[in-house]
Amino acid sequence: MSGSGPAGLASGKSETIKVDIREMGFRRSYRVHLPAGSAGQGKLPLLVMLHGAFETAKSMERLTGFSDLADRENFIVVYPNGIGLFGFLQHWNAGHCCGKAQKDGIDDVAFLETVLDDVRSRFSVDPNRIYMAGHSNGGMLACLYAAEKPGRLAGLAVVSGAIGSREVEKGVWQQIARPSFGLPVLVIHGFNDQTIPYSGGPSRNHKSREFVSVANTVDFWKSVNQCRGEAAKHSLCNGRVLVEQWMTGDHRLVLHTIYDWAHDWPGTRVPPGDKNSRALENYDAADAIWVFFRAF
């Protein structure tokens, strides 16, 4: 980033800026969105939003609408970029998945640490209100980060992700390690997801890999958070979204199951020119995630 600081801090206008950094010899980047007037408002909450495989920071900003939400709710959003080819086909090494980033052993947890340190050095961030969310491969990395850096996050949201996977019928199951203590976790998953199937098993789009089920992911975080007993349940959107919640002390685990929904980001926006995606009426994952996070 050139200059002495973001123009948005001086002008009082909201702005998204691309920042280039170097991590372990690689040129990496992230986008940061600052709400209007952030310079004079003290330490603000920070949300780190991780894109899915073959997506980009810019596309996730456009798709999720988190920057518009940040302007209304007054928080900072960071959109890191994964490893890719010429700015395309970007993905993450989430430990058990995926692609070249995993095969090459890219340390994306270290990259996220560098991003967080860089953001905190440039902007006024509340260290007790740092949250992380991710979609698909990005959700997997968010889980890995939360497991390897316990205590760094105030909340975690996983959209269409999984805590483990293996090569179909021949690989050893791999999953993230159990963190030393828990944190509030929100899991959002489409019941008809065939890329990371709700019930687990082989992926239709990545036929060489199979994933653990949403139930496995929920049970993992229930164990970490020491959640016991039956879930409290209610429905949203005329029964289309089933909400299940477990609570133990300060820890909370919530699952949103979206019926008649696959692997797309669950929201009201569709990327321009993307004929394969669709909008979800009356439910927006970004809103659901921020409502969950701002309680902690």
Among 25-39, 111-125, 279-293, the minimum mean pLDDT is found in 25-39
The whole-number average pLDDT for the span 5-32 is 73
Among 10-14, 34-38, 113-117, 260-264, the minimum mean pLDDT is found in 10-14
> What's residue 272's pLDDT?
65
Statement: residue 266 has pLDDT above 70:
yes
The whole-number average pLDDT for the span 211-223 is 97
More confidently predicted of 51 and 272: 51
Average pLDDT over the chain reads 90
The whole-number average pLDDT for the span 24-53 is 88
Statement: residue 277 has pLDDT above 80:
no
> What's residue 249's pLDDT?
79
Residue with tokens 């995606």: 277
The whole-number average pLDDT for the span 62-69 is 95
**What does the DSSP 8-state code read for residue 40?**
G
The tens digit of pLDDT for each residue in 186-203 reads 999 999 999 999 999 999
Among 37-46, 133-142, 236-245, the minimum mean pLDDT is found in 37-46
Statement: residue 235 has pLDDT above 90:
yes
By DSSP bridging, strand 251-258 and strand 88-91 are unpaired
Statement: residue 171 has pLDDT above 70:
yes
What is the residue extent of each domain of the chain? 7-293
> What's residue 271's pLDDT?
64
Statement: residue 7 has pLDDT above 50:
no
Statement: residue 6 has pLDDT above 80:
no
139 by Cβ neighbours in 10 Å (0-12 / 13-18 / 19+) ranks as buried
Q: What's the CATH number of domain 7-293, 3.30.70.1530, 3.40.50.1820, 3.40.50.300, 3.30.930.10? A: 3.40.50.1820
pTM of the model: 0.92
By DSSP bridging, strand 251-258 and strand 83-85 are unpaired
High-pLDDT (> 70) share of the chain, %: 91
pLDDT-derived band at 92 (thresholds 50, 70, 90) equals very high
- Contacts of residue 152, defined as CB under 8 A and 6 or more positions apart, other chains included, come to 116, 130, 145, 146
> What's residue 39's pLDDT?
65
Q: Across 124-169, where does the E strand assignment appear? A: 125-135, 155-159, 164-167
Statement: residue 8 has pLDDT above 70:
no
Write out the two tokens for 98: 């995926």
Distance CA 40, CA 12 (A): 9
The tens digit of pLDDT for each residue in 128-168 reads 999 999 999 999 999 999 999 999 999 999 999 999 999 88
In 12-51, which positions are buried (b, 16+ CB within 10 angstroms) versus exposed (e)?
eebbbbebebebeeeebbbbbbbbeebbeeeebbbbbbbb
